[in-house]
Amino acid sequence: MHFRRIAGWLLVLFLPVFLVAQSWSASGPPNFILIFADDLGYGDIEPFYDDCPFKTPQLDRMADEGARLTNFYVPTPYCAPSRGTILTGRYPFRHTVMSNPAPDAGATNFGLPQSEITIAEALKPLGYATAAFGKWHLGHKKQWLPRTQGFDEYFGILYSNDMFPVQLVRNETVAEYPVAQSMLTQRYTAAALRFIESNKDRPFFVYLPHAMPHKPLAASDDFYTPETREDLYADVIAELDWSVGKILSKLKELDLDKRTLVIFTSDNGPWYGGSTGGLRGMKGRAWEGGLRVPLIARMPGVIPPGVVNHEPAASIDVFPTICTLAGAPIPKDRIIDGIDLMPMLKDAGASSPHEAIYGMQGNNLATIRSGKWKLHVRNPGLPRFHRLSPEEKAQYVDPRGPDGVTILAPYEQAKVYQHPGLTSGVEPSSMMLFDLEADRAEQYDVADQHPEVVERLLAAFRKTEAEVPELPVPESGYLFREPGPGEPRALMRLIGGELRYDRIPESQKHLIDEKAPDMDSP
């Protein structure tokens, strides 16, 4: 009797995996390419915004040949937590990366725990070759590097491309320092193409988290347009679009496109110079402009051409979508917040699998989206730099901007007066309710007209909020003394060339706190 129960349990657990695997037996298992742009706004590419200021013919083609999700959300309006979520299918409060590691600010003692299961780790038991090319930002010390999380191969920058020291890492070794950032998009694309070619006869997963259009913006000579130096952002988008085209062409050349799912999306909304496509806010804020991003998925023969689905979905759904298509079992020992997106990708009329989708601000749950409604339980805040006058904005100098020494990128960076989203509308406050079907730009708070909706959403919010743990604040590895009254906190201009984060230039050593911890300790 006991044996029969165990056998029955195993059949229930693995029969779906077996059936999916059987369905691919004729052509081989599916491949996966996840292209994750950095700070690319909802309105930065043409398929999502009729008045897009940039030209993206390759992404247009990808959208025409596949599916678009127009209400697709990331869990936070900034980098690292969003990356942890798309790789694990779990909200940041579950995978615990709720802020950005930054070596030059002392945020160096945390990363994605090895206990988390990434897409790469889920696919490895099925014989997949796995690689990541680009920005990691889930821990830059050895215990959190990409090859501890299921990737066979890594090449890229371990954090944002404006954080000192900017250095290219191959696997666990610094490959280049300093870095000419104008070549990053081309180099990451070339690495992905080489990997696809080398693994064409076995299933593969390529994670391609591009550096662009995160600041500092940079484009290669093939895309830089000196006659329009004020519009470097357009050059950067054109090169990203080119990259997508090269990958799609390589798949077709190798006769792999019909069994390769390619997903293109972004980690959060845009920085200055980009476009939210008429949404309010930007990166760093929980308005739609910070949390809503484009998603395009293409797999000819599986995803019909031209699907446009307007139902809410989220980056938590990417992990279970890939696992289900590959026949990899979904982990049962933890909460996976995502649900398979394939029904939405195949059918414009398919409903959202979610009763609610949540957004975070820092360590706190901040928003809930359910159907057409969005409730800001927490105040999303005023625009960044709102206290600066127009003259001060024009003269603002980014402390992490190109410096000609270690951050090597064009000087024509977007200015902080080039806000990418709407700044108009109701004064921000807590408990604002928006009808996103009628008011996608979040201009009119309708909480007073719909108290029953507020009550329903708030009850769901509080239930999920109760699951958010109180995690200890990671100990800072900051080496410098605390600034005096009125003094700004100095960034550490760390020297690269090694995987260590305590090498300070002579010019900054007078700032070192004698009691500072060792930043390079595990």
Instruction: Just list the catalytic residues.
Output: 79, 137
Reduced to 3 states (helix: H, G, I; strand: E, B; else coil), residue 155 is strand
295: β partners: 69, 265
The residue assigned the tokens 């299933």 is 203
C-alpha 409: how far from chain center: 22
* CB atoms near residue 186 (< 10 Å): 18
Specify whether the backbone of 486 is left (phi greater than 0), alpha (psi in -120 to 50) or beta: left
Q: Are 170 and 194 in contact (CB under 8 A)?
A: no
How many CA within 13 A on the CB side of residue 139? Answer: 22
Whether cis (ω within 30° of 0) applies to the bond prior to 213 is yes
The DSSP string of 333-391 is: SS-------HHHHH-TTPPPS-S-EEEEETTEEEEEEETTEEEESS---PPTTTTS-HH
Contacts of 125 (CB under 8 A, 6+ apart): 328
Measured over the CA atoms of residue 464, residue 465, residue 470 and residue 476, the dihedral's sign is positive
376: β partners: 367, 432
Measured over the CA atoms of residue 69, residue 70, residue 71 and residue 76, the dihedral's sign is positive
- Between helices 318-326 and 2-23, what is the axis angle to 10°? 90
How far is 245 from 264, CA to CA, in rounded Å?
Answer: 12
